[in-house]
């Protein structure tokens, strides 16, 4: 932003302070004053209900209190055009249009309008997807993938140096069953009976891997050959990376869980906890004494079968991330991790680690719908829809948008019929069509030799639809700031839909290219600014901004 531009983020605190001073001058009780948008936008841009909260203590009607406050307000706050009082006692403030005209110029001057610097010089780690290589990425992994990548985009928009990290385990029970599944299919192809493992993976991809091993290694492999698991992991992981690439997702680092067994990190932290009397043996298992640290019950660390639970390697892994010096560490987990991750943080704190910079984002799961009916899925039974299938059917842009168009704490119904619809009923096409329409307007103007970067008189933009669109564009900076705090991509998706809606209403009511060259220049400037905001917002979501559709 230009330093001379007084933004709403600067004006509103001044206004709140002025209201606070008025209360003091009138001898009224102190209140925590909040400003919000009025239900009726005709009343103004912001309103406060502080007068209504004072009636009980003063015995004075809210309307009278509101008028008294208004009369004592310091109206020197810049860019407040009008102050009104409406029943039952709201004080309303209207921002002068000149402010929004300034914003228009700023957007056109700075096509990175809304970009923040609060993360400049800081490092962030975002761990997401982290699916073990036991099968193709499915719809069940998709929401995690898109959330993680979009959160990374948000952090980068605000200046963070982001490491996208994928953490996986290729040595646990799942991988052992995977290897056994491939082995069984290998011998099945040979015509030799080999019992298929209980809970084995049954997809055609297992048979394909077995066939590849047969073609590459021949018919004489023994049942003890490690090639079955090794080839399965290699093949599946290659496919996972391709699937992620199809969604525009790339990782900076892949970290393997077994690393922390091999380098001794797990043994070391277990010994440290034991020295603090926080580890004990019971019923053949190893337990973490979480009850000594305020939890209701202790947690199993290593089962009686000698298999560690999730908490053990994850504690070592997070300790490693802390040691790498990130200013911010973010984990994207499904709701099935809700009970486990607090135990990891608890153990880290017990080890003397500061976990204040670790944020865990929990998302709810996805239901795939077709024709209004739920599609049942099971990875082990190979009854699933892969991410590749989904991208092939509806496109990467649609997949990305649909996975973040609802808040992450909300269960997501992914409607395949709506996703495949290529009309404006599809929210992705609705957004992209707005962007493409603007590009077409600009090109049409250029074909008529109308310059799109000339001087313009923004005060000519006084139609209500023009003012409403200007106000929506101004919100982009506030929206991106709030996203940094919430790390909730749905916020930008909702904002972009509202922006596109206001643009379409403006376009329907206001002819952009007219016989009035001054008005044409102003409206093209408004269209260009809208294109910049839409393009930046879509970019944050990892979605393309087509110039034609």
pLDDT of 329 > 70? The answer is: yes
**pLDDT at residue 28 in the model:** 94
| Tokens (6 digits) for 7 | 């933004």
| Tokens (6 digits) for 314 | 């994850």
- The per-residue pLDDT of the chain, averaged, comes to 92
The residue range of the domain holding 46 is: 8-95
pLDDT of 428 > 70? The answer is: yes
**pLDDT at residue 5 in the model:** 46
Q: Residue 123 in 3-state DSSP?
A: strand
Q: Where is average pLDDT lowest: 35-39, 252-256, 394-398?
A: 35-39
pLDDT of 74 > 80? The answer is: no
Residues above pLDDT 90, as percent of the chain? 80
pLDDT band at residue 79 under the 50/70/90 scheme: confident
**pLDDT at residue 453 in the model:** 74
Element (H, E) at 267: helix 265-275
Residue that wins the pLDDT comparison between 376 and 276: 276
- Which residues face 84 on adjacent strands? 92
Buried b / exposed e over 383-399, threshold 16 CB at 10 Å, is: ebbbbbebbeebbbbbb
Greatest mean pLDDT range, 10-24, 167-181, 215-229: 215-229
CA distances from 49 to 8, 21, 73, 75, 112 (A): 19, 16, 15, 18, 35
pLDDT tens by residue, 150-201: 999 999 999 999 999 999 988 778 899 999 999 999 999 999 888 899 889 9
Asked if residue 202 is part of any domain, the answer here is no
65 CA to centre of own chain: 43
pLDDT of 388 > 70? The answer is: yes
pLDDT band at residue 3 under the 50/70/90 scheme: very low
pLDDT of 363 > 50? The answer is: yes
Closest C-alpha to 312, from 269, 276, 350, 277:
269
**pLDDT at residue 451 in the model:** 75
127 CA to centre of own chain: 13
State yes or no: cis peptide before 88, omega within 30 of 0: yes
pLDDT band at residue 383 under the 50/70/90 scheme: low
Please give the tally of structural domains in the chain: 1
Strands 366-370 and 412-415: parallel
pLDDT of 141 > 60? The answer is: yes
Asked if residue 75 is part of any domain, the answer here is yes
Asked if residue 88 is part of any domain, the answer here is yes
pLDDT of 343 > 50? The answer is: yes
- Specify whether the CB–CB gap between 433 and 549 falls below 8 A: yes
Q: What are phi and psi of 450, to 5 degrees?
A: -95, 120
Give dist(CA 533, CA 529) in Å, integer: 6
Q: Where is average pLDDT lowest: 97-101, 158-162, 430-434?
A: 97-101
**pLDDT at residue 77 in the model:** 58
Residues above pLDDT 70, as percent of the chain? 97
Give dist(CA 403, CA 367) in Å, integer: 11
**pLDDT at residue 173 in the model:** 83
Mean pLDDT, residues 320-331 taken together: 98
CB-side exposure of 391: number of CA atoms within 13 Å?
Answer: 17
| Strand order from edge to edge, sheet including 373-374 | 373-374, 366-370, 412-415
pLDDT tens by residue, 465-500: 999 999 999 999 999 999 999 999 999 999 999 999
Asked if residue 505 is part of any domain, the answer here is no
Asked if residue 21 is part of any domain, the answer here is yes
pLDDT of 221 > 70? The answer is: yes
Asked if residue 66 is part of any domain, the answer here is yes
Closest C-alpha to 12, from 464, 477, 503, 534:
477
The domain that holds 54 is classified in CATH as 3.30.1360.70
pLDDT band at residue 379 under the 50/70/90 scheme: low
Closest C-alpha to 203, from 387, 378, 393, 392:
378
Q: Residue 496 in 3-state DSSP?
A: helix
Asked if residue 58 is part of any domain, the answer here is yes
pLDDT of 408 > 70? The answer is: yes
pLDDT band at residue 10 under the 50/70/90 scheme: confident
Mean pLDDT, residues 422-434 taken together: 95
Residue whose entry in the numeric block shows the structure tokens 């290729």: 170
pLDDT of 376 > 50? The answer is: yes
Mean pLDDT, residues 442-452 taken together: 85
pLDDT band at residue 203 under the 50/70/90 scheme: confident
**pLDDT at residue 4 in the model:** 40
**pLDDT at residue 476 in the model:** 95
Mean pLDDT, residues 275-296 taken together: 95
Asked if residue 146 is part of any domain, the answer here is no
């Amino acid at each position: 932003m230009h330093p001379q531009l007084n933004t709403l983020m600067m004006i509103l605190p001044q206004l709140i302070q002025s209201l606070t001073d008025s209360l003091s001058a009138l001898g009224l009780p102190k209140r925590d004053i909040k400003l919000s948008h009025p239900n009726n936008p005709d009343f103004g841009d912001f309103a406060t209900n502080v007068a209504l909260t004072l009636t009980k203590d003063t015995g004075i009607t809210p309307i009278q209190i509101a008028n008294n406050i208004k009369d004592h307000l310091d109206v020197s706050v810049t860019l407040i055009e009008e102050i009104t009082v409406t029943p039952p006692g709201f004080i309303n403030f209207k921002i002068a249009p000149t402010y929004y005209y300034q914003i228009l110029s700023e957007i056109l001057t700075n096509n990175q309008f809304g970009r923040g610097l609060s993360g400049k010089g800081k490092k962030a780690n975002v761990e997401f997807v982290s699916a073990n290589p036991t099968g193709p990425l499915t719809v069940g992994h998709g929401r995690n993938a898109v959330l993680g990548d979009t959160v990374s985009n948000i952090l980068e928009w605000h200046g963070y140096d982001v490491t996208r990290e994928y953490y996986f385990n290729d040595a646990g029970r799942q991988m052992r069953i995977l290897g056994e599944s491939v082995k069984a299919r290998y011998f099945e192809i040979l015509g030799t009976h080999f019992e298929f493992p209980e809970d084995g993976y049954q997809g055609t991809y297992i048979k394909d891997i077995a066939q590849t091993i047969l073609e590459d290694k021949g018919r004489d492999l023994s049942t003890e050959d490690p090639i079955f698991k090794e080839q399965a992991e290699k093949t599946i992981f290659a496919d996972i990376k391709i699937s992620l690439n199809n969604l525009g997702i790339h990782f900076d680092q892949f970290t393997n869980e077994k690393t922390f067994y091999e380098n001794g990190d797990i043994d070391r932290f277990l010994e440290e906890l034991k020295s603090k009397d926080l580890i004990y043996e019971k019923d053949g298992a190893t337990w973490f004494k979480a009850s000594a640290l305020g939890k209701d019950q202790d947690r199993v660390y290593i089962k009686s079968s000698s298999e560690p639970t999730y908490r053990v390697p994850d504690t070592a892994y997070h300790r490693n991330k802390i040691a790498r010096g990130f200013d911010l560490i973010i984990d994207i987990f499904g709701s099935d991790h809700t009970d486990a991750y607090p135990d990891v943080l608890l153990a880290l704190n017990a080890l003397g680690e500061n976990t204040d910079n670790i944020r865990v984002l929990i998302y709810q799961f996805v239901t795939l719908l077709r024709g209004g009916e739920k599609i049942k899925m099971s990875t082990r039974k190979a009854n699933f829809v892969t991410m590749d299938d989904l991208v092939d059917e509806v496109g990467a842009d649609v997949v990305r948008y649909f996975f973040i168009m609802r808040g992450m704490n909300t269960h997501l119904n992914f409607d395949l019929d709506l996703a495949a619809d290529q009309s404006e009923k599809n929210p992705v096409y609705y957004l992209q069509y707005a962007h493409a329409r603007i590009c077409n307007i600009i090109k049409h103007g250029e074909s008529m030799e109308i310059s799109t970067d000339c001087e313009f008189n923004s005060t000519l933009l006084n139609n209500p639809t023009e003012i409403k669109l200007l106000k929506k564009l101004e919100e982009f900076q506030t929206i991106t700031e709030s996203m940094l705090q919430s790390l909730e991509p749905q916020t930008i998706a909702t904002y972009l839909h509202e922006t596109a809606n206001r643009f379409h209403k403006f376009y329907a009511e206001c002819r952009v290219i007219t016989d009035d060259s001054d008005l044409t220049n102003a409206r093209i400037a408004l269209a260009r600014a809208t294109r910049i905001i839409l393009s930046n917002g879509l970019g944050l979501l990892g979605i393309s901004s087509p110039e034609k559709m």
